[in-house]
C-alpha cells in the first residue's frame, strides 16, 4: 500500500474506492442534518418559552462554532429545519 498524505495531522489514505468515499460523504451529510434538527428543536423550545412564537418580531441568533462557520450548507439545513419546526 502506498503512503497516504496528511491534512492537519490526519493521515489520508489515497487508495479509498470512490463508492466508499460517496458513502462516507452521505453519512456525514446525515449526521449534519440530524444536528441541524436537534439545534432547531432547541431554538424553537427557547423561542416558545420566551413567548416569541406568540408575537414574532425581528430576532438575531448568534452562533459560535466551526460547524456553522465553515460548513456552508449547514446554514441552509438549520434554516430549513427551523422553518419546519416553527411552521413557517
- pTM, two decimals, is 0.74
Instruction: Name 86's Cβ contacts closer than 8 Å, sequence gap at least 6.
Output: 44, 47, 53
Our count of domains for the chain comes to: 1
Instruction: Specify if 43 maps to a domain.
Output: no
Nearest C-alpha neighbor of 44 from the set 9, 12, 79: 79
Which range marks the domain in which residue 79 is found? 5-35+49-86
- In this predicted structure, the answer to whether residue 14 has a pLDDT above a threshold of 70 is no
The pLDDT of residue 6 is 58
What is the Cα–Cα distance from 88 to 86, expressed in whole angstroms? 6
- Judge whether 42 lies within some domain: no
Least confident of 8-22, 26-40, 46-60: 8-22
- Mean pLDDT (the chain) is 84
Q: Residue 17 has what pLDDT?
A: 80
The pLDDT-based confidence of 2 (bands split at 50, 70, 90) is very low
DSSP strand pairing (10-12 vs 5-7): antiparallel
40 in a structural domain = no
Q: Is residue 41 part of a domain?
A: no
Whether 28 is in a domain gets the answer: yes
76 in a structural domain: yes
Amino acid at each position: 500500500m502506498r503512503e497516504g498524505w496528511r491534512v492537519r495531522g490526519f493521515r489520508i489514505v489515497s487508495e479509498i474506492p470512490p463508492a466508499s468515499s460517496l458513502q462516507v460523504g452521505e453519512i456525514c451529510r446525515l449526521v449534519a442534518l440530524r444536528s441541524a434538527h436537534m439545534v432547531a428543536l432547541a431554538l424553537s423550545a427557547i423561542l416558545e418559552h420566551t413567548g416569541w412564537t406568540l408575537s414574532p418580531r425581528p430576532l438575531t441568533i448568534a452562533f459560535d462554532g466551526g460547524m456553522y462557520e465553515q460548513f456552508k450548507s449547514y446554514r441552509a439545513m438549520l434554516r430549513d429545519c427551523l422553518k419546519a419546526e416553527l411552521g413557517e
